[in-house]
Chains A and B, each alone.
Chain A
Amino acid sequence: MTSSLFFNLTTGAYFVAMVVFILYIAAKSDQVGFAATVIGWLGFAANTVAIGLRWREAYAMGFQQAPLSNLYESVVFFAWSILLVYLLFDLKYKQRAVGAFVMPFAFAGMIWAQWGLDDTIAPLVPALQSNWLTYHVITCFIGYAAFAVACGVSIMYLIKVGKEEAAGNNPIGGVLGMFPSTKILDDINYKAIMVGFPMLTLGIITGAAWANYAWGTYWSWDPKETWSLIVWFIYAAFLHARFTRGWVGRRAAWLSIFGFAATIFCYLGVNLVLSGLHSYGGG
């Protein structure tokens, strides 16, 4: 029983769940939607076990470190976080169609990690040997995951809103009829960002506290720091847009999508394209 076996199971489960969620929208059958959700839960369980086993494997190698130390480990943790946030929202809203727009993010992460990234367990260099690493990574990724869910429902919102306006008060049939109403999509979008924004704030603060503890400066306008602030600015704009006429609806949905694009750039683009202090895995 190795972690890599369970990571493969996770990847498979996320793929199947994604396909079954899409089938659900096409087939309009509640049983199919339920099956997709169950597969999602099973994948999440496999993901959890895999991360736990990897943790144990690192300890067995003599490295006392949480499995959050390189790009591979961060990507599989990101997939785990997306499922966590998605499944909690599913428990509350039970809007199964959302799964078809959120699972692809988790699956893309897992397949990239499994095929494209180095999964060697390597010990931590001195700069990363700190408990702040764990707090910082967990808060950031829960935030990122919430933004992924918000992005998924924003895409659904933009697909649906035009049709709903055209239909007036008549119910929308066809595939779009399986989407939640734009009112619910907008609500999920807002609630997800309400969870993500404080988490991102905590992630930035724990990062600043750590930087201050390790280097004596809590903010140095390093590209990673700056991009996290850019993401923060975008979602802060989103939260204020809610209270402003002319900024609700489509513009808010676009802000949420741009926000997630900036999040992904902050997470990956900065490391792969720009240079800076965050050198996990060396790409």
Chain B
Amino acid sequence: MSQPQTFSDRVWDFFCSLKLAIVTLIILALTSIIGTVIEQNKPPQHYLQNYGMSESTYQLLDTLQFFDMYRSWWFLGLMGLFAVNLICCSIKRFPGIWKIVSQPRLVADDGLFRTFSNRDELLIAGSVESVRDKLTGLLGARFAAPTVTEQDGKIHLFAQKGKYARLGVYVTHASILIIFIGAMIGNVFGYKAYVNIVEGSSIDKVWPRAGQEPIDIGFEVRCDNFEVEFYEGGRPKLFSSDLVVLEGGQEVLKKTIIVNDPLTYKGLTFYQSSYGPAGDPTFRFRVTARDSGETVEVNARQGQRVALPGGGSFVVNRFAQNYDNFGPAVQMQTTGADGRQGNPFIVLQNFADFDVRRGGAYSFSLLESDQRYYTGLQVAKDPGVWVVWLGCFLMVFGSLTAFFWSHRRLWAVIEPLDKGVGVKIGGSAHRNQPAFTLFFDELKKDVHETLKS
């Protein structure tokens, strides 16, 4: 007696179907590969040069938005289809499931009993009431307290466990939609930006990744100090910035941030991301003239020529924070009083007498070196992130519920018969039937013992 399907019924069934879910998931999996093979969001020259593609191929792929595919209309469309499928499927199935949870069937007829693979029948001598009380007590002790219903001279018992396991799958589905909503909130109301702060200075604006105009953050952030440390062998060990938040010139928050430990203030989070030198390094040297033995201390800045007693001069060409694991070092050159330029040489800060052995007209000890740095910070504002975490929590909770928790139900009918009291019990689990069968077989034994005693 199937009714002819209208067009709208067919559309509805299409959006509700499990097949659509499977096909959408597979298409999402396949298309997602594109953006991992083609680098995303690079300038046109990058693709033309590195991928050896012709102008026309580039145009085609650009039209298909393959260079920014995760934001393309077709990929977002697929995600949208996925979401619509989820919603429709849930709307279709949820009311039925909710009825099972909220209005359980308290009375099992013969038709329902025939569907159980776990069932048992016995004939007991005694009264209906005593069988009812014994069975009620047993189910309560071994499973769950049953609901007793009297109907047509029969007594019906119903007991269940884990009814909310039925909702696990809907929690999981809803969690995906919640994550989508969280992502949208972040996209609309949040932003990603970056800012460089030179040691000792402060900023009150950050530069968004998308867009040209800086954003006024409404407070100031100062960087007091930036540190970089290395392991022996040169791998970086630590990047840290001492940050201070200022409101109207007043310090309100101080924190040393490192990678994996950011600073958050008024919904904005500052992440340690990069660093670099800010301006030329400055130095303090002790210089000894070999002939006279005269010693002077001088200040110098990289690239700046400094006069020495006796008519000579020197200039620092380069500075390294950690030269070959020997610590801070400069590469420098002297010019004699006669104007002749010497060869470049290295002076190490940690080895004060090292330069004497060079045997030049002057020997240098590097007493102090100071390189000012800027710290590079990622700045993120994402008011949707907690919605995303809520969705993630529900997804794990929901899927564990759906997979590992089962709704188990037991029905019993007690009826007076000619030769005694007839008892039928049966039950089912919506998941993990083997475990339920083991339980039911044990229960059967107990029922026989209890009722026959």
A residues adjacent to B (C-beta < 8 A): 122-123, 125-127, 129-130, 132, 194, 197-198, 201-202, 205, 208-209, 212-219, 221, 223, 226-227, 229-230, 233-234, 236-237, 240-241, 243-244, 247, 262, 270, 274-275
Known A212-B385, A226-B33; further 18 A-B contacts with Cβ < 8 A: A123-B237, A126-B236, A126-B237, A127-B259, A198-B400, A201-B399, A202-B396, A205-B396, A208-B388, A214-B262, A214-B271, A218-B385, A221-B35, A233-B25, A234-B26, A237-B29, A240-B22, A244-B19
* B215 surroundings in chain A (CB, below 8 A): none
Assembly CA distance A132 to B259 (angstroms): 13
* B396 surroundings in chain A (CB, below 8 A): 198, 201-202, 205
Assembly CA distance A152 to B235 (angstroms): 40
* 13 pairs, A vs B, C-beta closer than 8 Å: A123-B235, A129-B259, A205-B395, A214-B259, A215-B378, A217-B382, A221-B70, A229-B32, A230-B29, A233-B26, A237-B26, A240-B21, A241-B22
Residue B269 interfacial (CB < 8 Å)? yes
Closest to A133 in B: B260
Assembly CA distance A223 to B39 (angstroms): 9
B149 CB, min distance to chain A CBs, angstroms: 32
Contact A262 B29 (CB under 8 A): yes
Contact B237 A247 (CB under 8 A): no
* B235 surroundings in chain A (CB, below 8 A): 122-123, 125
Assembly CA distance A52 to B363 (angstroms): 53
Assembly CA distance A262 to B33 (angstroms): 10
Contact A214 B260 (CB under 8 A): yes
Contact B378 A216 (CB under 8 A): yes
B70 CB, min distance to chain A CBs, angstroms: 5
Residue B389 interfacial (CB < 8 Å)? yes
Interface bracket on B: 35 or more
Interface residues of B in 221-273 (CB under 8 A from A): 231, 235-239, 258-260, 262, 269, 271-273
Residue B330 interfacial (CB < 8 Å)? no
Contact B32 A123 (CB under 8 A): no
Contact B260 A127 (CB under 8 A): yes
Contact A226 B36 (CB under 8 A): yes
* B395 surroundings in chain A (CB, below 8 A): 201, 205
Contact B40 A221 (CB under 8 A): yes
A170 CB, min distance to chain B CBs, angstroms: 25
B291 CB, min distance to chain A CBs, angstroms: 48
Task: Name the contact of B260 in the complex, choosing from A205, A213, A223, A226 (C-beta under 8 A).
Answer: A213
Contact A244 B18 (CB under 8 A): yes
Residue B392 interfacial (CB < 8 Å)? yes
Residue B1 interfacial (CB < 8 Å)? no
Contact B269 A216 (CB under 8 A): yes
Contact B40 A213 (CB under 8 A): no
Interface residues of B in 22-78 (CB under 8 A from A): 22, 25-26, 28-29, 32-33, 35-37, 39-40, 70
Contact A194 B231 (CB under 8 A): no
Assembly CA distance A115 to B79 (angstroms): 43
Residue B192 interfacial (CB < 8 Å)? yes
Task: Name the contact of B32 in the complex, choosing from A125, A132, A230 (C-beta under 8 A).
Answer: A230
Task: Answer whether A126 and B259 are a contact pair too, CB < 8 Å, given A198-B399, A215-B273, A216-B379.
Answer: yes
Contact B37 A274 (CB under 8 A): yes
* B400 surroundings in chain A (CB, below 8 A): 198
User: Which one of A127, A227, A237, A262 has the greatest number of beta carbons of chain B within 10 Å?
Assistant: A237
Contact B260 A126 (CB under 8 A): yes
* A243 surroundings in chain B (CB, below 8 A): 18
Which 9 pairs of residues, A with B, have the shortest CB-CB distance?
A216-B380, A233-B29, A237-B25, A126-B259, A223-B36, A130-B260, A205-B392, A221-B70, A230-B29
Task: Answer whether A218 and B388 are a contact pair too, CB < 8 Å, given A223-B36, A270-B36.
Answer: yes
Assembly CA distance A236 to B173 (angstroms): 11
Closest to A270 in B: B36
Residue B98 interfacial (CB < 8 Å)? no
Residue B403 interfacial (CB < 8 Å)? yes
Assembly CA distance A122 to B36 (angstroms): 29
Task: Answer whether A198 and B403 are a contact pair too, CB < 8 Å, given A212-B385, A240-B22, A247-B22.
Answer: yes
* B262 surroundings in chain A (CB, below 8 A): 213-214, 216
Contact B32 A126 (CB under 8 A): no
* A205 surroundings in chain B (CB, below 8 A): 392, 395-396
Contact A234 B25 (CB under 8 A): yes
Closest to A128 in B: B260
